Structure 1
Amino acid sequence: MSKSKPKVPSFFQRIPHAITMLFGIIVLVTVLTYILPAGTYERILVDGRNTVVPNSYQTIVGTPVGILDMFKAIPLGFKEAVEIIFIVLAGGIMFGFMEKSKAVENAVGTMVKKLGLKNKHMIIVLMTFIYGILGVAVGYENNIAMVPIAAVLSLALGGDLILAAGISVGAMTIGFGLSPINPYTVGTGHKIAELTMFSGALLRSILCFSALGIMAYYNVRYFKKITLDPNKSLGKGLDVNELALSRPIQEYQLNRKNWMVISIFLLGLLAVLYGVFNLHWYINELSAVFLIIALLCGLVSRMSATTMSETTLKAVALAAPGAFMVGFATSIKVLMEMGSISDTISFQLSNMLQGLPLYASAICMSISQTVINFFIPSGSGQALATLPVMLPLGESLGLTRQITILAFQIGDGLSNLVNPTLGGLIAMISMCRVPIDRWVRFIFPVLISILFLAFTTLIVAVAINYS
């Protein structure tokens, strides 16, 4: 009797744990500081921000990172990422109070009851686009408080936490990354290129909403797959305690306290939107608003001081793994700065584009921005570091400035779907309690499909001399 051969794990099943993956990148960057020459561009202050001077790259004395400094970069990464780390905790505390009040569970249960379980697929598509529009219009980390709601919704529909991340994090990352009005990438790029702010919005809008359509399709497809065979769920074994609905859908309704909690949450979101767009609020102000919402939710729910204290610590415990991952990922950026190799990578990649055919140069420029994004995960930071170099290079290759910025936006925005060094991504998938290794297994086919669409759009842009 012949023995059956053991099943060989697929490529995605071999993706290491998130901690292992990030530590591997830390070791790789440390090694690169010994291989790559240290170098820097000259920078000048423009409107309060450091901008690269084209053709100013020069090598400098190398500062390779030793073993002690490699591990020292980890606490320094936590220090640099403290604002994002705390907003993960603050968002977790706020959601913990809302969950304790049963307002989120009752609201989601009531919504699903009203729309009907027969319309599950429509709900998934609708919510994917709603989260995508939040990414387009509001921003990225600004939406972190909305992520856990998708977790409750997905479980209420019979999905899992991976689907929740697809509906919320996937859609918001695509919406923000390809937004025609993204102030950090398109806005900064247009300012550097001296183009009309947010010009060329039609082509970008078509690309953005088509990409969200692909995300919605994959979400529904994944939901159908795990509904037919729960064993195919990538979310098996993930902690769904206090996220899943506790009773049948037909029993849900909103009471007065629930409405008060939801009203406080919505008023808090309105305050955030007003502050972001009118008062230049950022992460610390958002964290403060989240904490105020949490306190008010506890008070209107008539929680005792002991209950509020226990709820806070329980929420912190659930949010702590994600907060840790944010600091751990940021240590990679610290290592790049220690070894002075960020500008070297940008310089070498820009040199590789010389002499390429017109259409290939546009696509390769986008790919080079993808590579750079893993080392400079900030959209505006990457724009300020690379576009002063890429814009004149693109013109010498025959690409308009608008095409160069589109290539930059695609390379930066889409790679954020799988970028382990992006604190915002790590923070938001952690709010769905999804580790990055499982997230990559889910989102990678989506990324490939959207990249094909984006590169096709780039080819069209070159063909019509997009300007």
Structure 2
Amino acid sequence: MSLQEQTLRERRPWYRTVPDPMVLIFLILVATYVLTFFIPAGEFERVVRDGRTAVVPGSFHYLGDVAAIHPFDVFVAIPKGLISASQYLFIVFIAGGLFHILQKSGALENAIGVAVRRVGVARRNLIITVGTFIYGFFGVAVGFENNIALVPIAVLIASAVGCSSLVGTAMAVGGIGVGFALSPINPYTVGVAQGIAELPTFSGAWLRTLMVITSLALLSLYICKRVTRMDFEESPHAEALSKHLDEYRMERRDWLTLLVFVGGLVAMLFGVFTAGWYINEIAGIFLLLAIVIGAINGLSANGIVKQMMEGASGVTAGALVIGVAASIQVILEQAQIIDTIVNALSGLIEGIPIMFSAIMASVVQGVINLFVPSGSGQALVTMPILVPVADLVGMSRQLMITAFQVGDGLTNLIVPTSGGTLAMLALGRVSYAQWLKAIMPFMALVYLLCWGGLVVGHLAGY
């Protein structure tokens, strides 16, 4: 190797030498397969109460008749994972098509260009901070996966103020993730967990509200001071402004396009809150919006299909990562070792001083989240175990639920089994390796902040 080649290699960013996300997740899949030979199969007894399946505390037992997984099943798990995660794949493809049509119409770009011009690029940090808190509010009030399609808007805003798509993705994914993780009114985690713990729904909101506001403020500062200065290689498909800010104007067709788009989002939220809509119904709304917006902007049926295909092709790699990540869950379920892992981890909390047992509980929940990525599913599996543990060690049930929320929610930002996060990264055109490089220092800071909040909550009698 010549001196020049060696110098170029040394200068390459570390994330450029990290294997492709597909390779990383496949290595995790292989490691999971290896674990099945060392972790015995086991399960808890479950009962159905009020239409929900709950774990019976103290009912864990080992299973002795589970067949070993054949090495070929590791490869079979990938198509099974693609099938199990199909709803995430489809919403990424459809949302990618929708935003491609929106971008081609120019309405969204014109609106963002006009808005940023009026506020002023010089106030970039203010725009980033307000944007982060707005996305945080969506995470608090709407949920996590329900906000997938809003990521490209943040990327365009970042482009308008001269920042990379990584900054926009951090605003959107980080804001939504933190808002969802620490939401005082999260029905998927807090609502389910408090129901199991027999506490009033959304009680004890003051601590979670304090934690989510301070964490979003920390995220805003982190993005402004660090992420905006990071070297980042843009994807050739990244959303970006195509004109100078002074050239942007809003025409009648632009207003009509945005009215339809916002109306669709309102209809989506109405369905989420009143009819229990989730990924499939949201994807259906996005598909309808793509057709209507395409027609408003003079596209023929063939033109709409063509632009939908172009948009979907740009997010194919990110969408497929979601399916490969889901294969990890397939192996865990086939080996029947999830309950064994949960039982072992929950035992780590006992025997620790109360002040630190809440912190340990959040760590345990974070590890469990790798194996049980669903927030409500994790609450149903772990809360029947950890609520009695909290009673035994003298910790309040309210504090245990907040510790569960911190551990479950925040790790959604980094675990490769979180389909919603991978879907958002795909729409932001940011690879998983690039995302880890950007977000990991913030994760350390926000965990320290939240652990301090748990200690304060214990000292305040929360």
After superposition, residues 239-250 of structure 1 pair within 5 angstroms as 239-241=236-238, 243-250=239-246
Q: 2:288 is matched with which residue?
A: 292
> Which SS does the other structure have where 2:314 is aligned?
helix
Shift of 1:248: 0.9
1:35 to 26, 35, 38: 38
Q: Equivalents in 2 of 1:30, 1:296: separation in Å?
A: 46
Distance change >3 Å, CA 12–CA 352, structure 1 → 2: farther
CA contact (8 A) 2:136 2:216 kept: yes
Q: Equivalents in 1 of 2:273, 2:408: separation in Å?
A: 23
Q: Equivalents in 2 of 1:396, 1:139: separation in Å?
A: 32
After superposition, residues 316-331 of structure 1 pair within 5 angstroms as 316-331=312-327
Shift of 1:238: 2.1
Distance change >3 Å, CA 415–CA 356, structure 1 → 2: same
Deviations 1:191-232 (A, max 9, x none): 00000000000111000110000110011113552xxxxxx4
Q: Single out whichever of 350-359 and 246-255 deviates more from structure 2.
A: 350-359
TM-score norm. by structure 2 comes to: 0.96
Shift of 1:341: 0.7
Shift of 1:319: 2.1
CA contact (8 A) 1:52 1:384 kept: yes
Q: 2:452 is matched with which residue?
A: 456
Q: Equivalents in 1 of 2:18, 2:349: separation in Å?
A: 31
Shift of 1:465: 2.3
2:356 to 327, 337, 360: 360
Q: Which runs of 5+ in 1 are unaligned?
A: 226-231
Q: 1:229 is matched with which residue?
A: none
Distance change >3 Å, CA 49–CA 333, structure 1 → 2: same
Shift of 1:237: 4.0
Q: Single out whichever of 94-103 and 181-190 deviates more from structure 2.
A: 94-103
Distance change >3 Å, CA 12–CA 349, structure 1 → 2: farther
Shift of 1:312: 1.4
Deviations 1:138-168 (A, max 9, x none): 1111111111111111111110011011110
> Which SS does the other structure have where 1:253 is aligned?
coil
Q: 2:406 is matched with which residue?
A: 410
Shift of 1:347: 0.6
> Is residue 63 of structure 1 aligned with residue 64 of structure 2?
no
Task: Write the letter of the residue equivalent to 2:147.
Answer: N
Shift of 1:296: 0.4
After superposition, residues 308-347 of structure 1 pair within 5 angstroms as 308-347=304-343
> Which SS does the other structure have where 2:417 is aligned?
coil
Q: Equivalents in 1 of 2:383, 2:14: separation in Å?
A: 35
Task: Write the letter of the residue equivalent to 2:294.
Answer: G
1:443 to 430, 439, 458: 439
> Is residue 17 of structure 1 aligned with residue 20 of structure 2?
yes
| Identity across matched positions, percent | 39
CA contact (8 A) 2:45 2:55 kept: yes
> Is residue 99 of structure 1 aligned with residue 123 of structure 2?
no
Instruction: Return structure 1 stretches of 4+ with deviation > 4 angstroms.
Output: 3-15
Q: 1:137 is matched with which residue?
A: 141
> Which SS does the other structure have where 1:274 is aligned?
helix
After superposition, residues 40-439 of structure 1 pair within 5 angstroms as 40-61=43-64, 62-222=66-226, 224-225=228-229, 232-233=230-231, 235-241=232-238, 243-439=239-435
Distance change >3 Å, CA 224–CA 336, structure 1 → 2: closer
> Which SS does the other structure have where 1:125 is aligned?
helix
Deviations 1:358-386 (A, max 9, x none): 22211111101010000100000000001
Q: 1:228 is matched with which residue?
A: none
Q: Equivalents in 2 of 1:199, 1:12: separation in Å?
A: 43
Q: How big is the alpha-carbon RMSD for the aligned residues of Structure 1 and Structure 2? A: 1.7
Shift of 1:117: 1.3
Distance change >3 Å, CA 215–CA 386, structure 1 → 2: same
Shift of 1:134: 0.5
Q: Single out whichever of 309-318 and 421-430 deviates more from structure 2.
A: 309-318
CA contact (8 A) 2:237 2:314 kept: no
Q: Equivalents in 1 of 2:91, 2:289: separation in Å?
A: 13
> Which SS does the other structure have where 2:365 is aligned?
helix
TM-score norm. by structure 1 comes to: 0.95
Q: Equivalents in 2 of 1:42, 1:350: separation in Å?
A: 16
